[in-house]
Amino acid sequence: MDGFRGPLAVALPAEWITLIAQPEDALPLPPASDSSVWDAVDETTLAAIAAVADAERGTPWPQPLASAAARVHRDGDRVAWEQPAFARTHRLTRAAVMVATTREGAARGDAWIDEVVDGIVLLCEQSSWCWPAHDDTWERHGSVLATVTDPFLDLGAGEVVAQLAWIDQLLGAELDARYPGVRSRMRHEARTRVFAPFRARRDWHWIGLDGDVHNWNPWIHGNVLVAALRLLDEPGDAAVRAEVIELAVGGLDRYVAALPDDGAIDEGYEYWWNGACRALEALDVLAHATAGRVSLGAAVPALRATVAFPHRMHLGAGWYLNLADGQARPVEHKPWHALFRAAIRAGDDDARRHALAQRGAGTPLADASSGAGRTLLALADAQWRSAASATSPLPASVWLPSVEVLLARGRDGDAAGLALAVKGGHNGEHHNHNDVGSFVVASDGVPVLVDAGRPTYTKQTFGPGRYDIWTMQSAWHSVPMVDGAGQPAGARFHARLIEATDAGVTLDLAPAYATGALDALVRTARLDRATGHVEISDTWSASAPVEIVEHLIVAGDVEIVPAHLGGGARIRPLEGGSPVRLRWPAGITAALEVRTVDDPMLTAVWGDRLTRIRLDVGARDSFHLTVERDDMIAEDPA
C-alpha cells in the first residue's frame, strides 16, 4: 500500500478486512441448488437465453486466433480477435444459466454442465485473457502475440477471472460432482494470470498513480475484488486474499476520490456503465461480503450523485447525450439491473424509475452480453423481476459544473418539443473529441443537430492518429472553425465559463483554439421555453482578421431553404422526431456536405449518412442560429 487515503479509506471501519466473509459466502449470488431462486427466473428472459444456448450447443466454440491477434499490430484491426473472444464468454454465461435453471433426469443439467466445462477449459487454455490491443508485450518483449510468462492484466483479463468466480459461486457443487479438479484449474489460472501480476506490478497505468484515473480503474479493480473473494479459498490463501482485497479497494478509492461532486463522467454516458457503475457494483459486493457492515456507496456524496448521471443524460426514448466516445442510441443491452440496485442503495427514486422505464414490456430483463456477474445477479433478483413499470424522470434542466454540460428541455417529464445540450470543458478529457462548445439539439427526444459519436475501435483510436478519425475532429462537431483550423487536443485548450442558467450557458471558446489573433469567441446557447426555440449566438473579436466557418452536424433529411422563402434549412429528423427549421442571417453562404456512413457502430445509430451544413460567415463578427419546430413540414402530408 502506498499510503493514499481517499473517501473510502476515511469511511472504512478499523480492521475492516477482518469482516470479510468466507469465500463460499462472500458473493451475493445464490448457488444453483437454491431452487427458490433459480426456478423463479423471469420466463421471457430465460426463453431468450435458452433459444440462443440451445442453438449453440453442439456447434464449434468461437475461437480467437493468433493471426487475428497479430492484426492489431499489422492493420490496427481489433474486432477480428475480440469478436470470437467475446462470443466465447457470452456462450459460457448462457450455458451457466441453463445449468441453474434446468433439470435433466436425476442430475441437474448434466449436458449443460458439459457445455460449461468446455467453455471453462477453453478459457483456461487460451494463451491470454488480455485483449491484444491492450497488451504491452510488443514494448516489453518485441512480440506481436501475448507473452504467457508475463501476462498483462487488462479489462479482458478482469472480465474472464470474474466470470470464472461467478460461475464457481453458482455451480461449484455441480462442477465438483461431474468434473472433479476443474475448479482447481480455474484457481491456478486466476493466480497465474491475475493475482500474481496484480500483486507484483504496481505500475499498471489504470491504477491512476499519476493522477489520471479513468474507467479501467473500477472495471478491473471490481473484477479482481470479485475473483479474490471467491477463488482465493485454498489452504494458505488467507493472507494473499486479504492483500488482494485491500489493494483492490485501495485502487477503487483512487477512482472514487477523482469523481466530481456532481457525479458527472467526462467520458460520457456510455462509459458510465463501465466506470462509475463498476465502482458502485464493486462496493455493493463488498457490502455483501461484510454483511452490510462496510457500506460505502451511501457514505460518499459523489457516488450518490453519479447514480443520477444516466437519467440526466437521457434525451428521450432510447436516445442519450453522447459526449466523447459514446453512441447517441446505444444498441447493446445495458445492465439496467445494476442501476436499479445502485439507485435503491443511494435512495435516488428518479434513477430507480429510469432503470425500470428501460425495461420494455415483454422484453428480457438481462442479457449475457452484459457479463456473467451482471446477468446472473439480474436473473436472481426477485425485486428487479417484480418491480412495477415506471416512467423516466426527464428533468427540465441539468447542469453539471465539473464538465460544464447543460441539458435543458421544455418541462419536467416530457421529451416533446426541442431540447438543448451544450458542453464546455476542455480537450484533455478522456475520450476527447476536440469539441469544446459543441451542442446537440433534439426534437421530441430524437437528436437532429448531433454529435456523431465514434466508429469501431481500432489501434488508431487510442494512438497518435486518433484525430485523423473524422468523428474525433472539431470539423465534424457543431463548433466554429477559425482560419480553417479546429481545436487542438490537450487540457490547456478549454472553454471559459461566463454564465450558466437553467436554460442556457455562455462560454468564451477562444482559449480552445491555437490562433493568437482571436481575443474572444463567445457562444451563448439557450432554450427559450416561452417560444420553444433554441438560440445559438456567437460573437468574436480578434487582433487581426480571422475567417470563421460555422458547422452544423445533422441527422435526417436536410434541404436548404431559398432566400425568397425565408432562408435557412429544413430538417426531417430520424424516425420519431418532429421536423425542425433552422434560421440564420441572410447573406451567409450555406452548403451541404453529405458524409456516407459505413461503420457499423455509426450506421446502427444514424443509418447510412450524416450531413454537415457549412456556413461561411464572411467578414461578420457575429452569427446567430435559431432552431424551431417546422409546422409547415409537420402539416405537409407529403
Q: pLDDT tens digits, residue range 305-327?
A: 999 999 999 999 999 999 899 99
Place of cell 433478483: 381
**Candidate from 135-139, 361-365, 386-390, 494-498 with smallest mean pLDDT:** 361-365
Q: Phi, psi (5° rounding) for residue 70?
A: -70, -20
Instruction: Give the pLDDT of residue 637.
Output: 41
Contact 533, 544 (CB under 8 A): no
Q: Of all residues in the chain, what percent are helix, strand and coil, respectively (each to 5)?
A: 40, 20, 40
Gap between the Cα atoms of 578 and 571, Å rounded: 9
Q: DSSP string covering 273-303, please?
A: TTTHHHHHHHHHHHHHHTTTSS--GGG-HHH
Which CATH homologous superfamily contains domain 21-386?
Chondroitin AC/alginate lyase (1.50.10.100)
**Helix H or strand E segment including 615:** strand 609-616
Gap between the Cα atoms of 432 and 288, Å rounded: 36
Place of cell 466454440: 61
For residue 499, CA distances in Å to 434, 466, 503, 506 come to 22, 32, 11, 5
563, pLDDT greater than 80: yes
| Secondary structure letter of residue 268 according to DSSP | -
104: helix, strand or coil: strand
Residue 109's region, left for phi above 0, alpha for psi from -120 to 50, else beta, is left
For residue 285, CA distances in Å to 18, 288, 345, 412, 462 come to 16, 5, 12, 34, 32
Q: pLDDT tens digits, residue range 271-291?
A: 999 999 999 999 999 999 999
The residue among 316, 342, 208, 213 whose CA lies nearest residue 265 is: 213
Q: What residue type is assigned to position 372 of the chain?
A: A
In 19-172, the DSSP E strands lie at none
Average pLDDT over residues 386-398: 96
The residue among 628, 634, 638 whose CA lies nearest residue 568 is: 628
Instruction: Give the pLDDT of residue 104.
Output: 58
Place of cell 432566400: 563
Task: Supply the pTM of this predicted model.
Answer: 0.95
Gap between the Cα atoms of 119 and 57, Å rounded: 11
Gap between the Cα atoms of 146 and 218, Å rounded: 24
Place of cell 459461486: 169
Gap between the Cα atoms of 483 and 515, Å rounded: 8
Gap between the Cα atoms of 137 and 109, Å rounded: 41
Report residue 32 as a C-alpha cell: 444453483
Contact 455, 465 (CB under 8 A): no
Q: What residue type is assigned to position 432 of the chain?
A: N
What mean pLDDT is reported for the chain? 95
Q: How confident is the model at residue 554 (pLDDT cuts 50, 70, 90)?
A: very high
The residue among 586, 566, 538, 585 whose CA lies nearest residue 630 is: 566
User: What is the Rg, in whole angstroms, of the alpha carbon atoms belonging to the chain?
Assistant: 26
Report residue 1 as a C-alpha cell: 500500500
- Distance from the Cα of residue 520 to its chain's centroid: 34
Q: pLDDT tens digits, residue range 74-112?
A: 999 999 999 999 999 999 999 999 999 996 544 546 899
Q: pLDDT tens digits, residue range 464-497?
A: 999 999 999 999 999 999 999 999 999 999 999 9
Exposed e or buried b for every residue in 388-414, given b needs 16+ CB within 10 A? eebebbbbbbbbbebbbbbbbbbeeee
Q: Specify the higher pLDDT residue, 632 or 210.
A: 210
Q: Show me where the domains of the chain are located.
A: 21-386, 398-634
Q: pLDDT tens digits, residue range 503-552?
A: 999 999 999 999 889 999 999 999 999 999 999 999 999 999 999 999 99
Contact 503, 526 (CB under 8 A): yes
Place of cell 426477485: 382
Q: What residue type is assigned to position 635 of the chain?
A: E
Instruction: Give the pLDDT of residue 109.
Output: 60
Q: What residue type is assigned to position 53 of the chain?
A: A
| Secondary structure letter of residue 145 according to DSSP | S
Gap between the Cα atoms of 271 and 323, Å rounded: 10
Report residue 396 as a C-alpha cell: 427540465
Q: What angle do CA 477, 480, 481 make, to 5 degrees?
A: 100
Q: What angle do CA 356, 252, 324 make, to 5 degrees?
A: 60
Give the count of beta carbons closer than 10 Å to the beta carbon of residue 103. Answer: 12
Average pLDDT over residues 567-578: 95
Q: pLDDT tens digits, residue range 215-248?
A: 999 999 999 999 999 999 999 999 999 999 999 9
Gap between the Cα atoms of 581 and 441, Å rounded: 12
Contact 49, 98 (CB under 8 A): yes
Instruction: Give the pLDDT of residue 120.
Output: 98
Instruction: Give the pLDDT of residue 632.
Output: 66
**Candidate from 106-120, 160-174, 393-407 with smallest mean pLDDT:** 106-120
For residue 190, CA distances in Å to 17, 153, 184, 230 come to 21, 11, 10, 11
Contact 559, 572 (CB under 8 A): no
The residue among 32, 21, 8, 60 whose CA lies nearest residue 174 is: 32
567, pLDDT greater than 60: yes
Q: pLDDT tens digits, residue range 434-449?
A: 999 999 999 999 999 9
Gap between the Cα atoms of 267 and 273, Å rounded: 11
Burial of 375 per CB tally in 10 Å (0-12, 13-18, 19+)? buried
Instruction: Give the pLDDT of residue 455.
Output: 96
The residue among 517, 530, 535, 547 whose CA lies nearest residue 615 is: 547
Instruction: Give the pLDDT of residue 295.
Output: 82
| Secondary structure letter of residue 485 according to DSSP | B
Span 398-634: which CATH code?
2.70.98.70
Q: DSSP string covering 493-523, please?
A: EE-EEEEE-SSEEEEE-GGGS--TTEEEEEE
Gap between the Cα atoms of 137 and 146, Å rounded: 6
Instruction: Give the pLDDT of residue 635.
Output: 47
Place of cell 434541404: 559
Gap between the Cα atoms of 219 and 178, Å rounded: 33
